[in-house]
Amino acid sequence: MDNQPAPLRVACIQMRSGLDRKKNVADACQLIAEAAAAGASFIVTPEMTNVVDRKGARLLETLPEESQLEEIGAFADAAKKHGAWLLIGSMAVKSGARAANRSYLFAPDGSVVATYDKIHMFDVDLPGGERWKESKIYAPGDNAVVAATKIGHVGLTICYDVRFPALYQELSRSGAEIICVPAAFTAQTGRAHWKTLLTARAIENGAFIIAPAQGGQHEDGRETWGHSLIIGPWGDVLAEASDDEPGVIIADIALREAHEARQRIPNLALDQKFEITIIKP
């Protein structure tokens, strides 16, 4: 007799958020409803679900404090309406002189059970003159988060965090079976690194990776990569968006596979502390 728990159906929402927060919320809720209708009980939206705006002054002028952010109530209602766990991959939330890039995890009753502020800021100079200084607009977080929910232990990360493997190792050592990577990857870096980085984080940690993305040409002038992914703990791609168009991808996952992968390759348990010697001949 098979006593294994039923698979968990998870969904990535791929979006193309613009400057109009109300429209972005409406677009997200429509896709959330589509995912719920397909049977998803854990639904994840991308980074900056509520607004994509690279102009910091304009963003901060129009962004209210968290207590006045209507999006939170709208997404709480969506989680409750569909009876699903809902991770809003991130929203811009005013936080003092800057904003926070903050994830919100809603339970099926609409309550917020966890939040996470993106730790690693995307401050880079890319080939071709593309330059980003995220820390000018957003204040970095300093606390990693694992939510121990009824559907599993969920580690929360956002976009550029994916390039910092130590964060993922600590989340996994703290019990995370699923790690979410909502993102707004640039087209340039996404084309080169998106799938490789996500697959590496899955394999290194024996974890399911759920990575919903922004995709396409946005109102603020940026272009994001899309190609949302759900990856298994052995590095197998379970679902993948073929382009940057808004939509939904879905996969069924069995959390026991994360534990099995960690038993086969116990690198998290066998990691050794060491010192480094620099030798100058």
pLDDT tens digit at each of 281 positions of the chain = 457 788 999 999 999 999 999 999 999 999 999 999 999 999 999 999 999 999 999 999 999 999 999 999 999 999 999 999 999 999 999 988 999 999 999 999 999 999 999 999 999 888 887 888 999 999 999 999 999 999 999 999 999 999 999 999 999 999 999 999 999 999 999 999 999 999 999 999 999 999 999 999 999 999 999 999 999 999 999 999 999 999 999 999 999 999 999 999 999 999 999 999 999 99
Quote the CA–CA distance of 240 and 154 in Å, as a whole number: 20
pLDDT at 280: 96
pLDDT per residue as tens digits for the range 144-178? 999 999 999 999 999 999 999 999 999 999 999 99
pLDDT per residue as tens digits for the range 197-236? 999 999 999 999 999 999 999 999 999 999 999 999 999 9
Its domain, for residue 167, covers 8-266
159 catalytic per annotation: yes
Q: What is the Cα Rg of the chain in Å?
A: 18
Of 159, 177, 180, 257, the active-site residue reads 159
pLDDT at 89: 98
Residue 272 domain-assigned? no
118 catalytic per annotation: yes
Residue 162 domain-assigned? yes
47 catalytic per annotation: yes
Quote the CA–CA distance of 156 and 13 in Å, as a whole number: 16
Of 12, 29, 118, 180, the active-site residue reads 118
pLDDT at 2: 57
Quote the CA–CA distance of 211 and 233 in Å, as a whole number: 14
Chain centroid offset of residue 103 CA: 8
Residue 149 domain-assigned? yes
pLDDT at 30: 98
Torsion of CA 259, 260, 264, 268, to 10 degrees: -10
CATH code (residue 29): 3.60.110.10
Residue 200 domain-assigned? yes
pLDDT at 131: 83
Of 12, 47, 134, 257, the active-site residue reads 47
Per DSSP, 178 falls in state E
Residue 158 domain-assigned? yes
Residue 14 domain-assigned? yes
Q: Which residue do the tokens 């929360």 mark?
A: 156
pTM: 0.96
Residue 96 domain-assigned? yes
Residue 278 domain-assigned? no
Quote the CA–CA distance of 31 and 36 in Å, as a whole number: 9
Strand (E) or helix (H) holding 16: none
> How many other CB atoms sit within 10 Å of the CB of residue 15?
30
pLDDT at 201: 98
Q: How many domains does the chain fold into?
A: 1
